[in-house]
Amino acid sequence: MSVTPPQPSFKRVPTRTWPALAWCVGSALTFLFRFRLPGEAQPAQQGVLFFRWDGMAMLALATVAAFAGSRRLDRRPLSGLFLVLLASVGASTTLSVAEIPLLQFVAADVAVYLIAASRPRRTGLAALSLALGTLAGYLLTRLAFGWVVGTSAELTVALTTVVAWLLGDAAHQSRLHSEQLRAHAAEQAVTAERLRIARELHDMVAHSIGIIALQSGAARRVIGTQPERAHGALGEIETASRETLSGLRRMLGALRTPEPGKAAETAPLDPGLGLADVDRLAKTTTAAGVRVDVRWLGEPRPVPPEIDVSAYRIIQEAVTNVVRHAGARSCRVTVDSRDDALAIEILDGGPGRDDAKADGTLGRAARNAAGDGTGYGLLGMRERVGLLHGEFTAHPRPEGGFRVAARLPVPVGVR
């Protein structure tokens, strides 16, 4: 079932119908005003030619021209407007008036609006000039023959034409702005999805590669003297490799082109990973050679899935940075479940593997936190926290080591 709401009824009416409908309404009112209506001393408009055969013939020809012009507005708007204007001039000649009345020009006003709303501004300005030029030419022609002209009434008609163009141009600009907003929103959605996938791939692969690097190094060192330990390390490498490959397959499978008629799928956050997996993460990392101590504070409370997954990913990435960059043998993870937020802290006491320089340069993790490194781990953590409207800090500790902390607010309704 389609989720797109149906268009309003008036938007389903073809564009060419509106000028023709306006012409019919104007002609009907013109005919009605030739009679004395209740409460009037005399008819609002008079004209002896209107009810004669030649007047009726001219009105019929003008109606044909108006309908033909309305049909041409979609394909050739300016030529269609010209026919509508020609009909307005022809119908006015049978009314014994000194100007083109508004009722005869209302179809042209509608046509000017439609052209300004649906065509480029240059075409809209050309339509406005053509309509105003017709009004001016009608008055100048009558002046050339020495006839009376209704300048005041014609200026009123010209004002309605300008207003019609302004409204149409405003509608055109509004539609262009809406299209730009939709394009910008689509571009932002694509960028956000790309960044989200990049974060998931980084968090999933970086941790596994770090574990594999540690275990392979340990296996290489003891394979000749302690084959049992090497065998265990190789088993951990195999397990980590299989888990990573399985995760990559799931994510890449979700990114495949959908079948025709089906909505595109997004790469899902792994629903199997959350705070409940932190102890398993600590056990795996400890087995790889870096001890992870986990402290749970506060009363465990349920949190939304996006917070649960993001909290786990932040802890995973921080522990991965300890394994790869800190040069520490242990780290401490603290998860504090508070009434209004979930607080996470990861501390290590390592010097950092790049801190051996004599000038006391910060380690790689510290440089990444300051925004000068080439890594994406801390940037990804900061983006995750920012998307959840939380607070994130990552900096070297004065007493040595590194600290990563995040505060993720939990909606009141969840608590």
Ordered structural domains, the chain, with CATH:
9-183 (no CATH), 276-415 (3.30.565.10)
Q: Give 210-258 pLDDT, tens digit per residue.
A: 777 777 777 777 777 877 777 777 777 777 777 667 666 666 665 554 5
> Which pLDDT does position 356 carry in this prediction?
32
Of 242 and 18, the structure prediction assigns the larger pLDDT to 18
> Which pLDDT does position 368 carry in this prediction?
41
Rounded mean pLDDT of 29-55?
66
Q: Give 169-196 pLDDT, tens digit per residue.
A: 999 999 999 889 888 888 887 777 777 7
Distance of CA 231 to the CA centre of its chain: 53
Rounded mean pLDDT of 111-117?
94
User: What would the two tokens of residue 278 be?
Assistant: 């932190």
> Which pLDDT does position 263 carry in this prediction?
46
> Which pLDDT does position 111 carry in this prediction?
95
Give how far Cα 185 sits from Cα of 179, 182, 191, 269, 384, Å: 10, 5, 10, 22, 20
- Per-residue confidence at 134, pLDDT binned at 50, 70, 90? very high
Q: Give 81-100 pLDDT, tens digit per residue.
A: 999 999 999 888 887 778 89
